[in-house]
Amino acid sequence: MADSGTRTYKAAKRYIYAWGGGKAEGNGNMKDLLGGKGAGLAEMTNAGLPTPPGFTITTEACNDYFAAGKTLPAGLWDDVLAAVRVVERETGKGFGDPKNPLLVSVRSGAKFSMPGMMDTVLNLGLNEATLQGLIASTGNERFGWDAYRRFIAMFGRIVLDVPTRSTKAKDGTLVQHNRFDEALDAAKEKHGKDAKDTDLNVDDLKKLVVAYKKIVKTTIGRDFPDDPNEQLDLAIKAVFASWFGKRANDYRNTQKIAHDLGTAVNVVTMVFGNMGDDSGTGVAFTRDPNTGEKALYGEYLTNAQGEDVVAGVRTAPKIAQLATDMPRVYAEFKKIADKLEKHYKDVQDLEFTIERGRLYMLQTRSAKRTAAAAVKIAVDMVHEKLITVDEALARIEPAQVDQLLRPTFDPAAIRTATRMARGLNASPGAAVGRAVFHADVAAAWAAKKEKVILIREETSPDDFHGMAVAQGILTAKGGATSHAAVVARQIGKPCVAGCSELEISYSSKTVTAGGVTVKEGGWVSLDGTTGEVFVGALPTVEAKYEDQKDLQTLLAMADKVRRLQIWTNADKPEEAAQARAWGAQGIGLCRTEHMFREGPRLEIVRAAILVANVATRAKAKTAARQALTAEEKKAVKTFDAKMAKLEEMQQGDFEGILAAMTGLPVVIRLIDPPLHEFLPNLEDQLVKVTKAGAKATPKDKELLATIKSMHEQNPMLGLRGCRLGLMIPDFVKIQTRAILNAAVAVKKAGKDPRPEIMIPLVGHVNELIATQTLLEAEAAAVVAKGGVKIDYKFGTMIEIPRACWVADDIAKHAQFFSFGTNDLTQMTFGYSRDDAEGGFLLKYVEDKILPYNPFQSLDPVIVQEMDMAVKLGRKTRPDLKVGICGEHGGDPMSIGFCHDIGLNYVSCSPFRVPVARLAAAQAALKGAAERDK
């Protein structure tokens, strides 16, 4: 623009950046200062695209405004007026000029897009005098009055805070009415029940203006401001104030956006989409934000202004229809959309207005998209050579991969289900919950752990807190770009929108469609992928990784980039096979005790435990050549019989797993939990025996005595892990034999078993030495007898802080380490995991005593301990293989730490394997980026 760079500023800082005439003072990299919208308008202008001239007041101005106790920084207002003069020159119009008035929109715009933080004020600068100028210069009286009534309503509601009118429904609930909308509806009704806003004539609009002004006067006791400068001043301050409004605060809290960023204010020359049938307004995405398909996707309305499309005042045609309605404009728009997508190398979400056949771009930003679309778009853009593999990988959130593997409805159940209605498939996924009709109710029920579906006529930013906690969202009105749809896609909730068959009654708290009525609390199921709504709670089925080609391509890209291997925690052959299909490269944790609990086994285990102590003592006596009592002999006999049975069963389990994982390592952990976990709970057994009184069986009394004798104050710090194996060696001996016999059998069947035996809970190296000596003898004997060569290893878990300190000693004996970070966290913090997580820990996080739950993501101090243990261990054994098998192994942030400290693998539950593959690639990319710095 003409005087760019030569303008002088009255304020101490430069608070204003203008654009127009093909040039902008800011650019797309200035999002911090100009907000996303301002930066986008500057960038589009610089790229030669048609934007209406305007200027941005910076986020810094907003922050300084609040710092000064809600007063504009000295000099800012003068600079605003100077910027208005620039826009006047650019447009040839005058702000407040009754002959040829300049009208502007005042728009908020923070660094991160915050849908609906503050609504935009359009047509600012109108009063009775400038209105006449607008009418004269356009020769369109109806248009002038339509703009004026819109302005008064918007400014009244948004800037002047005209209160809503509340009435009481029959059931006592309060219903809010927008007073301006009520007046508008009344005016429309005169033209028939289904009249549209476009049916209003000049006379109606004039009357509406009078009615609107009266609403302002009676509700807030002042006249509607006529002076354009005063209008502008009030609007700028209202945008600033909206930064700390409830909607904005709620949104920032859920999205973890900092509260001190501030918002910019954009003052933009009005262009008019409501000047007749050669005018219009619309929203479009450069690719389909649901599926990622490469085609323009969006909606527009002719003879409409502003948010009419989003608000759903009329049914909007698809953007493709524009090609027929206004072919030249469509062609231009398509070209611009392509250009912007190439320029930003990402899908853009565009807002535009057509004024008498001339296209103006009003906004561009990276589009929110579903997880499926995100993956498809990233993969496609790599193939289109628009972005690199590294960029594609960085663009997908691990959580999105997770979402793609979430359940869908069982097709068999859908066939017999009662379908209530079908709406727009606005955000994919299956959601099941109980019907609620108010965001506050959703929040209250969700706090009580109820699953809810939020059902509304349409949603607004005021409903965000309810949407965030709902399983899914269902609306009767609004299209693919409505508030409900946009927000649901962004927060990853299934949503069916625009389901016009629904008859929702807020007062009786019911929804009726397809002849069925569901009351508040009734179960509904909605499918955001198909748009269907069902009565009742439908069963869901797992998502199929096998069917998701784009995801597979993306993860194959990740596999090439990552250094960490991804293993899985699996106890059963089916789980192992599943995880292997999803990319697992080994089993990092196979818990043997789970197998103890299945079916008839528990009874066998219990019977063995009852005599375990006596039998163990007796065996020691035999070894010392002492005679046994009859009772001891009997105990040994029972014990050995039970153990033999267990050994046989476990061997079967291990054969299944080793076969499923042929060629890949399988780390099998020896029994870990305290034995009392296999017995009934002390209280229950006490009640049972007491109730039975004299009739109590000897078996029950014996069981009670055993449970009592095994009772510990702190079982998590008690007789468990390797301690148990050292006290009652038979448990671990039979497990070792079972593992190796299984390996022998699998090998003989032509497969390649690779068992690794893991000894848990070692704190002192002597614990490891004693256990390993005992077990190596068993293993060697089995293998010798088997007559085939088996590659097996002994290693240990590192899960006691002391073990980290002596990891060099431990590595002299252990052939591998695996971090058990659940116990390591528990013992380093001194928190009992089972109690803390349900108790004070969450409160700690809420009160910010802890930044996050250390059982979810590794605490930096735990990482330091691990780092030390890795270094010490590898000092002794340079090729020591180290992994992690705690819950943290599937947590993206923790995976980053594991990469940084040089682990060989992370092991996580099967369904986290795909997520971990991506997270590991991102960790490698981040590491590389830091090295390059």
Which residues is 568 bridged to in the sheet? 587, 908
Quick one: tokens of 358?
A: 């001339």
Q: Which of residues 825-864 bind ligand ADP (CB under 6 A)?
A: none
Interface with ligand ADP (CB under 6 A), residue total: 16
Phi, psi of 430 (to 5 degrees): -100, 135
Q: 674 and 724 in contact (C-beta within 8 Å)?
A: yes
* Piece of the chain touching ligand ADP by CB under 6 A; list 193-201, 236-244, 263-271, 572-580: 263-271
- Is residue 483 part of the annotated active site? The answer reads yes
Minimal distance, residue 474 CB to Mg ion, in Å: 21
Q: 821 and 803 in contact (C-beta within 8 Å)?
A: no
705/783 Cα distance (integer angstroms): 40
107 binds, among ligand ADP, Mg ion, none (CB under 5 to 8 A by kind): ligand ADP
Minimal distance, residue 484 CB to ligand ADP, in Å: 15
Quick one: tokens of 892?
A: 């993206």
Residue (of 112, 920, 921) closest to 490 by Cα position: 112
Q: Select the residue interacting with ligand ADP from 204, 341, 351, 809 (CB under 6 A).
A: 351
Q: Which of residues 106-125 bind ligand ADP (CB under 6 A)?
A: 107, 120, 122
Task: Work out the burial of residue 372: count CB atoms within 10 Å of its CB; fewer than 13 is exposed, 13-18 middle, 19 or more buried.
Answer: buried
The H-assigned helical ranges of 223-363 are 228-242, 246-255, 308-311, 322-325, 327-344
CB-nearer residue toward ligand ADP: 56 or 907: 56
Q: Is 307 in the site for ligand ADP (CB under 6 A)?
A: yes
Q: Is 91 in the site for ligand ADP (CB under 6 A)?
A: no
Minimal distance, residue 355 CB to Mg ion, in Å: 17
Minimal distance, residue 261 CB to Mg ion, in Å: 18
- Is residue 259 part of the annotated active site? The answer reads no
Residue 793 has a CB neighbour count (10 Å cut-off) of: 15
Of the residues 465, 483, 676, 899, only one is catalytic, namely: 483
Q: Select the residue interacting with ligand ADP from 291, 363, 741, 904 (CB under 6 A).
A: 363
Minimal distance, residue 281 CB to Mg ion, in Å: 11
Q: Is 910 in the site for ligand ADP (CB under 6 A)?
A: no
Pairing of strands 665-669, 587-591: parallel
CB-nearer residue toward ligand ADP: 147 or 703: 147
CA atoms within 13 A on the CB side of 511: 27
Amino acid at 666: V
Position closest to Mg ion via CB: 363
Q: 400 and 548 in contact (C-beta within 8 Å)?
A: no
Pairing of strands 16-20, 23-24: antiparallel
CB-nearer residue toward ligand ADP: 35 or 428: 35
CB-nearer residue toward Mg ion: 363 or 403: 363
Phi, psi of 91 (to 5 degrees): -100, -15
Q: Is 353 in the site for ligand ADP (CB under 6 A)?
A: yes
Minimal distance, residue 103 CB to ligand ADP, in Å: 8
Which residues is 104 bridged to in the sheet? 124, 269
Q: 504 and 476 in contact (C-beta within 8 Å)?
A: yes
Task: Work out the burial of residue 378: count CB atoms within 10 Å of its CB; fewer than 13 is exposed, 13-18 middle, 19 or more buried.
Answer: buried
CA atoms within 13 A on the CB side of 430: 19
For 211: left if phi > 0, alpha if psi spans -120 to 50, otherwise beta; the answer is alpha
Minimal distance, residue 117 CB to Mg ion, in Å: 9
Q: Which of residues 231-250 bind ligand ADP (CB under 6 A)?
A: none
Q: Is 271 in the site for ligand ADP (CB under 6 A)?
A: yes
Of the residues 885, 898, 899, 908, only one is catalytic, namely: 885
CB-nearer residue toward Mg ion: 481 or 741: 481
Count H helices, E strands: the chain? 37, 33
Binding mask 364-383 for ligand ADP (x = CB under 6 A): --------------------
659/745 Cα distance (integer angstroms): 10
Minimal distance, residue 295 CB to Mg ion, in Å: 22
Which residues is 122 bridged to in the sheet? none
Q: Select the residue interacting with ligand ADP from 91, 105, 127, 529 (CB under 6 A).
A: 105
Q: Which of residues 38-67 bind ligand ADP (CB under 6 A)?
A: 52
CB-nearer residue toward ligand ADP: 122 or 347: 122
Q: Is 363 in the site for Mg ion (CB under 5 A)?
A: yes
Q: Which residues bind Mg ion (CB under 5 A)?
A: 351, 363
Active-site annotation, residues = 483, 885
Name the site residues for ligand ADP (rule: CB under 6 A): 52, 105, 107, 120, 122, 268-271, 281, 306-307, 351, 353, 362-363
